[in-house]
Amino acid sequence: MEIKILENNLYEECNFGDKRLTQRAAFIGELLSVKYGQPLSKIFKTASDLKGGYEFFSNPKTNFDSLTQPYFKQTAQEINGTPVVLAVGDTTFLDYKKILDKREEYGPIGNGGNGLILHSCLALEPDLGQPLGLLWEKLWHREHKASQPSNETQEVKEERLKQERKAKRNKEFKEKESYRWVEAFSKIEKQFSTLEIPVGGLPSKIIHVFDREGDIAEVFAQISQTKNAGVVVRAAHNRSLEAENGHLWSYVTSTTLKFVKDVELAETKKRNARTATLEVRYCPVSISPPTRLKNQSSFNIYAVYAKEIN
């Protein structure tokens, strides 16, 4: 595979609706590429440039999507025509709890943290795992919960929590954080739909790889509607099966052993390097859709079960 290094400044492709902002973005991008990771006071040479930088970052037109879109477009262009590409999705928590001035602009992220949430889809070459670039990212923050009265009784607290759970269930799916797993399909498909298929080539097939958070019925519903796409998701739920009249865990573990494979495990802080021997089973299954997905037919997928011997 040929790896290309592009010399053009991607920020020149940003569309802010203002040429001056685009020029400023290209200027800042060039400085950041040379002094990446340093404080802005060291990146900018003059006080006026520093002031211009702060004004650029605080401008509502210079939002996250506008700044990142040219890069996602470049990644799609570079890998367009590659037969199979893995799009590995994962979520990162950016914790800024020590920056008290930003507390209202950020949100809770668990373990007492306060910051932003970033979901990324990284394109990988499937055989050797070579990173090819980012295909999509989403950035957001959670809202701070209102403080509760200190004299709240247990009965009132239980009723409040009940109403909160009800409101969460009734929330539109597109407004939930879990929507990001489905959104990845449509955003990446749209990115490739604008590109011409290479001469004599075929459209790239994008295989999305999700962890347990991505095991939601809407993901399986979306994959059936998305062209040139597939998904590998780590199962989180013991789902009901339609034809087998059973459940996923017991059914797949009872199927015939397909093969045995050795996997080399690298040394980490918690384990020594070793060879793991896995028994692998797989089979087609038909998963029953949940009641919330009206008029949805069953999901016909493959289940894969890998278990280490000894």
Domain ranges of the chain: 1-62, 83-214, 238-310
- Enter the pTM of the model: 0.85
pLDDT of residue 244: 67
Looking at residue 193, its amino acid is: S
Cα–Cα dist 284/292, whole Å = 24
Q: What is the mean pLDDT of the chain?
A: 88
Check residue 219 and report its DSSP letter. Answer: H
Q: For the chain, what percent of residues have pLDDT higher than 70?
A: 96
- Residue 140 forms beta bridges with which residues? 117
CA angle, corner 52, sides to 47 and 53, nearest 5? 95
- 184, with CB counted inside 10 A (0-12, 13-18, 19+), is buried
What CATH superfamily is the domain 83-214? Transposase Inhibitor Protein From Tn5; Chain A, domain 1 (3.90.350.10)
Entry field: residues in the chain: 310
Cα–Cα dist 152/171, whole Å = 26
Asked if 96 and 106 count as a contact pair (C-beta separation under 8 A), the reply is: yes
Asked if 214 and 93 count as a contact pair (C-beta separation under 8 A), the reply is: no
| Higher-confidence position of 5 and 187 | 187
Q: Which of 119, 97, 115 is nearest to 106 (CA)?
A: 115
Inter-CA distances, 55 with 44, 52, 194, Å: 13, 5, 33
pLDDT tens across 231-268, in order? 999 999 999 898 766 899 999 999 999 999 999 999 99
pLDDT of residue 199: 64
Cα–Cα dist 142/161, whole Å = 18
| Higher-confidence position of 145 and 52 | 52
Contacts of 100 (CB under 8 A, 6+ apart): none
Task: Among 3.30.70.260, 1.10.10.60, 3.40.50.300, 1.10.246.40, name the CATH number for the domain at 1-62.
Answer: 1.10.246.40
Asked if 185 and 229 count as a contact pair (C-beta separation under 8 A), the reply is: yes
